Amino acid sequence: VKNNRNGAISRLIIRDAIPVGQDPVKVLLKTPAELATVASVDTEVKIADGAVTRWGKDKPNNREEGLVEWVLDNIQSGEEKKVELAWSVEVPQGYKWSYTP
């Protein structure tokens, strides 16, 4: 994220989501790795100066729904802050995928 404005941005909240697997499909959060061990939506993980990540706070079950937030504070004009979200999907060998639109 880069601030191309002339002034600072006091706070920016970015929301994203990872897929949610149903047994036997497992979705594992890889980045930010520290967030994978956080169970509470009230816990924040510092990823850089003025930047934290957390499970979404608008509903108590956002962790189960895969909703992630980054909170970036005081982004100066011209400053860049990096946010990353990566996951992997694991399924048993021979698993038959199906798609229902």
First to last CA, the chain: 33
Bridge partners (DSSP) listed for residue 69: 15, 54
Alpha carbon distance 79, 26 (integer Å): 37
- Give tens-digit pLDDT for 75-88: 999 999 999 999 99
Averaged confidence pLDDT in the chain: 90
Residue carrying the six token digits 């639109």: 101
9 pLDDT above the threshold of 90: yes
67 pLDDT above the threshold of 80: yes
Pairwise pLDDT comparison (42 vs 28), residue with the higher score: 28
pTM listed for this prediction: 0.83
Under the banding of pLDDT at 50, 70 and 90, the label for residue 53 is: very high
Pairwise pLDDT comparison (74 vs 40), residue with the higher score: 74
Q: What pLDDT score does 62 carry? A: 75
Tokens of 22: 């149903």
Distances (CA, A) of 65 to 57, 59, 71, 92: 12, 10, 19, 22
Q: What pLDDT score does 87 carry? A: 94
Give Cα 3 distance to the centre of its chain: 20
